[in-house]
């Protein structure tokens, strides 16, 4: 295993006057700071694009004479000095929100555990919404000065790379990402040695290295079992995100929860609050109970102490989304461990009992809820659904009193805002708009933005999306990855002037990617209207083991291939953060059609809303509380009817009606200047109402005030 370092550039290759470029590249703060991004882009604009905006790779590949030239360029040196000054002031953390609002909390540390983190394309350790949410949470914690550390996995092979065959089927390909060209550091113990740990998982002795990623003021620690002393089987434990069978999944979650606690101890980090983001890391509660019992606590006292300091966020209302491990696997890997918790086998297994799994399965969400005093869903609707789902844990308690609250998800505005809109907001909302993006009063000023300026910026963003799509198709063709027919299905025939609808997310069946195609003749009339054409862009991955999801992708691709749809439907291969930015910034309407009530929150629509894209969605997840009747379109689901065909027909009919009678006519209703005034009025209402409510600034503050701070103020003697 190689220690990450710049592949082709050493410290002496960077002129002394620019020596801190490497330091800046190795902290992801640059990824959401325009001044820092401009600093790297200016080095070599073409190479910046070719490296997918990765400054570590850029510095490894740029010609040394180019850096020498820039070191002698006064304008670049001024840019460099200004960016470093911002960086240093940011890290000093002297007047952060947390320091000013919670100065009474002494030496607080929040340990945030997640199976995936979506931070930047250069660190591909995420698959979708859960990881992006975790990454945005870390970035906002950094901005607000919240003392948080992340705990996750390295995943040397990351999540799979999606390849679409000429026949329209998704294939999964895995390849190690280049750690040497990623902003990854070895994690050191207090003595200065590289952090290593050994975890006994059943009869397996698993060694692991620890890496760290600097996310502004937040540090993310990653466990990596790809070390020489491990067997091939153990090296593969952290190789892939969501790979392998149930047994591998159990071993991964053992390593994340129990190994994660031991890793923090080895690093000398003593968290005051432990936040489990979804049930994957729930075993962390067991390890902390074991530690306390080892120090002399009774089982009951240890459970209560752990419970009071634990925050648990559940993200799924879909029963299949909760990990349930069979008892024979729990026996294999926890025999000998439950005695250390002062429990019998039966009492131990009862921690993961649910009415559905009783007697045969161990439910990780049930474990987390039982051992966390602070539990939340990720939208108001999801909180209600979660209280219904888990009411059996509080028998006899009225549902409104069940202690599962909600903290609605948000997005990290500086990460997801288009550069063009960032400048426009800076001009009319104020240069510090992103730092105040949760302030409702500030967003009232969107009415001051002239329609023609807002429309011009939106059109620029749309053209950038179309250029991105065409360039990807051209590159795929030149490299031999695409056949001629596939070039067309990848969006090369899309029209920058046509109303463009985007649908990009995980291809789980409940998200109903093909709902829009339920009545093909009606769809054709929408797409082929000579005066008011519409076009559709799809993107997303299905889990490799999700055959129905793979079939949905195949079905969408069959529509892309259908010449009767005239090139108005496109599918973009290998959806990731980089592509997501172009989509949420460049389409006109963001479509979301989950089957109610199976959408926990969804954040892609929030990213789209921040960028002036209109939402057309089923009233579920975040949109149920975001929609006000004048800021987009909401499909009222058919509630109470368990017939999925009836639900689909009802929702599809509403979708067609809203497109045909409201959205499409409004988009094409222009004044003499060619500006759709009514559409822009709707857009401004969406910005005014959604931007301040669905940002991580509001979300993380809410976690701190309602979950973290109450868990921290427990008297030390009880801990």
pLDDT in tens, 695-712: 999 999 999 999 999 998
Residues 278 and 129 sit within 8 Å (Cβ to Cβ):
no
Confidence of residue 481 (pLDDT cuts 50, 70, 90): confident
pLDDT in tens, 423-451: 999 999 999 999 999 999 999 999 999 99
pTM of the model: 0.95
Residue range 76-99: average pLDDT? 92
- H-run or E-run covering 433: none
pLDDT tops 80 at residue 108: yes
Query: Looking at the predicted structure, is the pLDDT value of residue 404 above 70?
Result: yes
Mean pLDDT score across all residues of the chain: 93
Query: Tell me, what's the pLDDT at 228?
Result: 95
Mean pLDDT within 7-14: 55
Give the model's pLDDT for residue 642.
80
Structure-token pair, residue 64: 């040394």
Is the pLDDT confidence value at 100 over 60? yes
In this structure, what DSSP letter does residue 662 have?
Answer: I
More confident: 26 or 717: 26
pLDDT of 4 above 50: no
- pLDDT of 11 above 80: no
**Is residue 511 over pLDDT 70?**
yes
Outline where DSSP puts E strands in 95-135: 110-113
| 689 pLDDT more than 80 | yes
Residue 2 is given by DSSP the state P
From CA 409, how far away is CA 378, in angstroms rounded?
5
Pairwise CA distance, residues 325 & 158, whole Å: 24
For residue 72 the two structure tokens come to 């002698």
DSSP β-ladder status, 110-113 and 273-277: parallel
Can you tell me the mean pLDDT for 668-686? Answer: 97
Residues 321-335: tens digit of each pLDDT: 789 999 999 999 999
Per cent of the chain over pLDDT 70 is 97
Range of lowest pLDDT (127-131, 215-219, 656-660): 127-131
Q: Please determine, for residue 5, whether its predicted confidence score (pLDDT) is greater than 70.
A: no
State residue 196's pLDDT score. Answer: 96
Q: Which two tokens stand for residue 637?
A: 């689901």
Whether the per-residue pLDDT at 484 is higher than 90: the answer is: no
Asked whether residue 467 carries a pLDDT value surpassing 70, the answer given is yes
d(CA 18, CA 312): 44
In this prediction, residue 598 carries a pLDDT of: 92
- Least confident among 86-100, 178-192, 198-212: 86-100
Instruction: Using the predicted structure, report yes or no on whether residue 675 has a pLDDT greater than 50.
Output: yes
Pair of tokens at residue 46: 């073409």
- Residue 641: pLDDT over 80: no
- What integer pLDDT is reported at residue 61 of this predicted model? 94
Contacts of 653-659 spanning 24+ positions with Cβ under 8 A:
655/515, 655/516, 655/593, 655/616, 656/519, 656/522, 656/526, 658/616, 658/633, 659/526, 659/534, 659/616
Task: Label residue 35 by pLDDT band (50, 70, 90).
Answer: very high
- Is residue 653's pLDDT more than 90? yes
Helix (H, G, I), strand (E, B) or coil at 590: strand
Instruction: Please tell me the least confidently modeled range out of 83-87, 157-161, 339-343.
Output: 157-161
**Lookup: tokens for 520:** 């093909």
Question: 323: number of CA atoms within 13 Å, CB side?
Answer: 25
Q: Give me the pLDDT at residue 125, please.
A: 92
The answer to whether residue 106 scores a pLDDT higher than 90 is no
Q: For residue 704, give both structure tokens.
A: 């701190």
With a cut of 50, say whether residue 39 has pLDDT above it. Answer: yes
Asked if residue 1 has pLDDT above 80, the reply is: no
Residue 714 — very low, low, confident or very high, per pLDDT cuts 50/70/90? low
pLDDT in tens, 571-603: 999 999 999 999 999 999 999 999 999 999 999
- Mean pLDDT across the stretch 683-689? 98
């Amino acid at each position: 295993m190689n220690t990450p370092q710049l592949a082709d550039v050493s410290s002496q290759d960077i002129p002394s006057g620019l020596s801190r470029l490497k330091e800046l590249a190795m902290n992801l703060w640059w990824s959401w700071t325009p001044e820092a991004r401009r600093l790297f882009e200016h080095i070599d604009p073409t190479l910046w694009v070719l490296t997918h905006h990765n400054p570590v790779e850029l510095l490894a590949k740029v010609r040394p004479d180019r850096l020498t030239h820039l070191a002698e360029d006064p304008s670049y040196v001024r840019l460099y000095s200004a960016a470093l000054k911002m960086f240093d002031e940011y890290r000093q953390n002297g007047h952060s929100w947390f320091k000013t609002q919670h100065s009474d909390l002494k030496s607080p540390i929040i340990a945030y555990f997640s199976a995936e983190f979506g931070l930047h394309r250069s660190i591909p350790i995420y698959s979708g919404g859960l990881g992006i949410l975790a990454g945005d949470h870390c970035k906002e914690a950094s901005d607000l000065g919240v003392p948080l550390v992340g705990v996750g996995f390295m995943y040397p092979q990351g999540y799979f790379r999606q390849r679409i065959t000429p026949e329209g089927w998704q294939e999964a390909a895995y390849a190690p990402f280049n750690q040497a060209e990623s902003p990854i550091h070895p994690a050191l113990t207090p003595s200065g040695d590289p952090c290593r740990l050994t975890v006994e998982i059943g009869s397996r002795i698993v060694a692991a290295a620890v890496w760290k990623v600097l996310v502004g003021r937040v540090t993310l620690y990653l466990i990596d079992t790809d070390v020489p002393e491990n067997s091939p089987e153990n090296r593969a434990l952290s190789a892939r995100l969501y790979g392998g069978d149930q047994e591998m999944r159990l071993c991964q979650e053992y390593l994340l929860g129990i190994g994660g606690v031991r890793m923090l101890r080895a690093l000398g980090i003593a968290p005051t609050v432990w936040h489990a983001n979804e049930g994957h890391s729930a075993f962390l509660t067991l390890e902390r109970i074991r530690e306390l019992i080892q120090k002399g606590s009774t089982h009951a006292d240890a459970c209560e102490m752990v419970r009071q300091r634990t925050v648990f966020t559940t993200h799924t209302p879909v029963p299949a989304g909760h990990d349930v491990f069979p008892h024979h696997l729990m026996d294999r890997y926890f025999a000998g461990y439950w005695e250390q918790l002062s429990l019998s086998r039966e009492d131990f297994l009862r921690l993961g009992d649910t009415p559905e799994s009783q007697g045969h399965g161990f439910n990780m969400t049930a474990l987390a809820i039982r051992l966390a005093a602070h539990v939340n869903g990720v939208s108001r609707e999801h909180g209600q659904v979660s209280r219904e789902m888990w009411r059996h844990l509080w028998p006899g308690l009225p549902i409104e009193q069940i202690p599962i609250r909600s903290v609605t998800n948000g997005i990290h505005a500086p990460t997801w805002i288009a550069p063009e809109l960032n400048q426009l907001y800076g001009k009319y909302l104020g240069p510090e708009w992103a730092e105040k993006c949760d302030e409702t009063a500030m967003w009232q000023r969107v009415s001051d933005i002239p329609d023609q300026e807002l429309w011009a910026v939106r059109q620029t963003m749309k053209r950038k999306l179309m250029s991105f799509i065409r360039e990807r198709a051209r590159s795929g063709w030149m490299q031999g990855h695409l056949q001629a027919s596939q070039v067309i299905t990848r969006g090369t025939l899309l029209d920058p002037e046509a109303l463009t609808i985007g649908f990009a997310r995980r291809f789980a069946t409940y998200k109903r990617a093909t709902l829009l195609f339920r009545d093909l003749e009606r769809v054709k009339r929408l797409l082929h209207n000579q005066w008011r054409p519409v076009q559709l862009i799809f993107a997303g991955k299905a889990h490799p083991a999700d055959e129905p999801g793979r079939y949905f992708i195949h079905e969408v691709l069959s529509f892309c291939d259908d010449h009767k749809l005239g090139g108005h439907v496109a599918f973009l291969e290998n959806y990731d953060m980089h592509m997501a930015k172009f989509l949420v910034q460049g389409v006109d309407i963001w479509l979301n059609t989950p089957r109610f009530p199976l959408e926990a929150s969804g954040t892609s629509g929030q990213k789209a809303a921040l960028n002036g894209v209109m939402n057309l969605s089923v009233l579920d997840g975040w949109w149920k509380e975001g929609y006000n009747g004048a800021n987009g379109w909401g499909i009222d689901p058919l509630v109470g009817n368990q017939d999925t065909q009836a639900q689909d027909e009802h929702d599809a009919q509403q979708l067609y009606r809203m497109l045909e009678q409201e959205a499409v006519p409004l988009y094409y209703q222009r004044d003499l200047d060619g500006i759709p005034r009514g559409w822009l009025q709707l857009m401004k209402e969406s910005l005014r109402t959604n931007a301040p409510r669905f940002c991580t600034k509001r979300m993380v503050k809410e976690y701190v005030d309602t979950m973290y701070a109450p868990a921290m103020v427990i008297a030390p003697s009880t801990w």
